[in-house]
Each structure stands twice: as C-alpha cells, then as structure tokens.
Amino acid sequence: MDTTRRRRCLVSHAVSRVCQVNLQLDWGKTGIEIASKARSSRGLLIHVLGRLAIAMLVRSALPQSA
C-alpha cells in the first residue's frame, strides 16, 4: 500500500470514529443547543437593558427645558 492511500485510509478511519462518537453522545438530547441559545438570549437581553440604562442616564443628565 502506498503512502497516499494509507493516509487516506487513516483519515477515513478517524473521521468515521468521530462520527460514531457524535452519534453515541447524541448532542440533541444533551441540551447543548438549548444552553447555547439561552446564553445568546441572555447576552442580547443584557445588551438591550444596558443600552436602555445608559439612555436613561444621559436623558436625566441633560438640562430640562421649560
């Protein structure tokens, strides 16, 4: 077996092992996607509330017109 063919065989074997591990872990059932979405939603909420707080501070610092 030549070197190139042997490398392809090893890579193919490694890829199939990774696929088997992914199937065994079944990422969908572990909630990893849900946790990621929750972190993203929380980050967005913190960003929006922070912007709102800064806008309220700036508005309160501006002089009031009669």
9 CB-near residues (< 8 Å, 6+ apart) = 1
Helix (H, G, I), strand (E, B) or coil at 64: coil
pLDDT number for residue 16: 77
Contact 20, 14 (CB under 8 A): no
Please give the distance of CA 43 from its chain centroid, rounded to a whole number.
11
pLDDT number for residue 50: 93
Between CA 39 and CA 31 the distance in angstroms is 12
pLDDT number for residue 4: 84
Could you read off the pLDDT of 15-62 as tens digits, one per residue? 777 666 666 566 555 566 666 777 788 888 999 999 999 999 998 888
Instruction: Inform me whether the pLDDT recorded for 14 exceeds 60.
Output: yes
Domain boundaries, the chain: 1-28, 31-66
Handedness of CA 58, 59, 65, 66 (dihedral sign): negative
